[in-house]
A and B are shown apart, each in its own frame.
Chain A
Amino acid sequence: MPDFTTFSSLLRITAKYEMPAIRSQILEVIRDAYPETFEGLGSSKPLGEGIFSGRAPHPNEVLNLFVQQNLTSALPMAYYMATRRGLNSLMDRRLPRNATLPLEILQSAMGGLMRLRELELNETHDLIFEQNGSHPCSASNCSSRAPTGPAALAAYHQVFDRMVGSSQLGTKVLQVPEFYEDLDGELRCIGPGICTGCVERWESKHAELRKKAWVALPDVFGLNG
């Protein structure tokens, strides 16, 4: 795999000089590394800017290139990759010109961040507490059986933090939360007293949430119109 500089050159010149056979190979690489669908995110698969040899490009640089080249299907993930580094990265003035986002792209990225955060908070709350505010747990000793008690609230707080993180970016909604921690060789739920059944239910629901968030990415970043 070439480095990003060469890859960028290939994209530009195969378009400018009308070399469709080679360009289609490049586009295939991009489709693989920046999949449009959730199903494209296969396991053990190289993704994002990490596919390039040599130094990994800044995600802003990749985003700029994809916008310039009008690579529509790769844009949602390219936006996501850039936004997950946070506002400092999106707006860093020290970056060179090719990694500096034009105002229009920056607006889309920042708007997307806010929408992702909203989605993350709403969906995570529903996921943990369910719509009626109670948890359908059948385990007699699970903290979630008494969802308003202080122990349960503390446990929920831990779980919620694990899902949404402290970055307030909203980009954790697309990451798989780790509900267990290793305590002296024993795996325990990060929410004290929460039973395995609850964790499994959250894991399953969060998998659905990730898919939902992925599907929403084009709308999140204003790419559908």
Chain B
Amino acid sequence: MIPASSTTHSPSTSIATLSDFTIADVSDEESQIDPTILDASEDELPIDPMTVAQDKTFYLEDGNVEVLCGNTLFRVHTSVLSFHSPALRRMFAQASLATAESPNGCPRIASSDTSTDFTTLLKMIYLPGFVALLERCYVLPLTSICLQIP
């Protein structure tokens, strides 16, 4: 399971449409940053080997390899991942999958990626609509923040 992050955000600047270059209005005084502005990044969390958990979305029962990222265990298809990424293809080819530890009936390899990054990778590969998010951002321009230069 992907660790949930507690996100609290109290912006110290006001977002506004300004008649200047400003992207977000910042007062003349230096900004006072709210200490709770950001959540702790995932890679700062301690890893406890006893709490390894299967990812709720991407532990695919018919997958043929387990990938451990932090405390999160993914089970995916080497053929599918290799199809989308030459780097993954090489990684699977080089990894000794046949001799790897296989506690759940398929080889398990460890990745240096955070579970968030690896989840994003799997969304790109397994969920075709996910990448369309990027395309939509051009079609539907955000208007919350505008730049006006006379």
Smallest Cβ distance from A183 to chain B, in angstroms? 18
Q: Which residue in chain B gives the minimum CB-CB distance to A12?
A: B117
Query: For B20, what are the chain A residues with a Cβ–Cβ distance below 8 Å?
Result: 175-178
Interface size on B, residues (CB 8 A): 58
A123 within 8 A of B: no
Query: For A178, what are the chain B residues with a Cβ–Cβ distance below 8 Å?
Result: 19-20
Identify the stretch in A48-56, A102-110, A135-143, A185-193 within 8 Å (CB) of chain B at 4 or more residues: A48-56
Distance A1 CA – B33 CA, assembled complex (angstroms)? 25
Interface size on A, residues (CB 8 A): 61
Count, A-B residue pairs, CB within 8 A: 166
* Interface positions of A from 195 to 210, Cβ below 8 Å from B: 203, 207, 210
Query: For A174, what are the chain B residues with a Cβ–Cβ distance below 8 Å?
Result: 21
B24 within 8 A of A: yes
Identify the stretch in B49-57, B98-106, B139-147 within 8 Å (CB) of chain A at 4 or more residues: B139-147
A70 within 8 A of B: no
B78 within 8 A of A: no
Smallest Cβ distance from A47 to chain B, in angstroms? 5
Q: Which residue in chain A gives the minimum CB-CB distance to B32?
A: A88
Contact between B31 and A96, CB atoms less than 8 A apart = no
Q: Which residue in chain A gives the minimum CB-CB distance to B148?
A: A43
Chain B, residues 7-28, CB within 8 Å of chain A (1/0): the string is 1010101010011111110111
Question: With contacts A22-B131, A45-B141 known, is A9 near B117, CB below 8 A?
Answer: yes
Question: With contacts A46-B145, A203-B150 known, is A86 near B137, CB below 8 A?
Answer: no
Contact between B26 and A84, CB atoms less than 8 A apart = yes
Contact between B124 and A19, CB atoms less than 8 A apart = yes
B134 CB contact (under 8 Å) in A12, A13, A18, A29? A29
Contact between B32 and A22, CB atoms less than 8 A apart = no
Distance A22 CA – B128 CA, assembled complex (angstroms)? 12
Q: Which residue in chain A gives the minimum CB-CB distance to B13?
A: A85
Q: Which residue in chain B gives the minimum CB-CB distance to A166?
A: B28
B96 within 8 A of A: no
Distance A19 CA – B84 CA, assembled complex (angstroms)? 7
Smallest Cβ distance from A155 to chain B, in angstroms? 20
B28 CB contact (under 8 Å) in A48, A167, A203? A167
Contact between A44 and B29, CB atoms less than 8 A apart = no
Contact between B30 and A46, CB atoms less than 8 A apart = no
Query: For B29, what are the chain A residues with a Cβ–Cβ distance below 8 Å?
Result: 86, 166-167
* Interface positions of A from 20 to 66, Cβ below 8 Å from B: 22, 25-26, 29, 32, 41-51, 55-58, 61
Q: Which residue in chain B gives the minimum CB-CB distance to A22?
A: B131
> Can you give 10 contacting A-B residue pairs, CB < 8 Å?
A9-B114, A42-B147, A43-B148, A46-B141, A88-B31, A89-B33, A95-B38, A96-B40, A97-B44, A99-B38
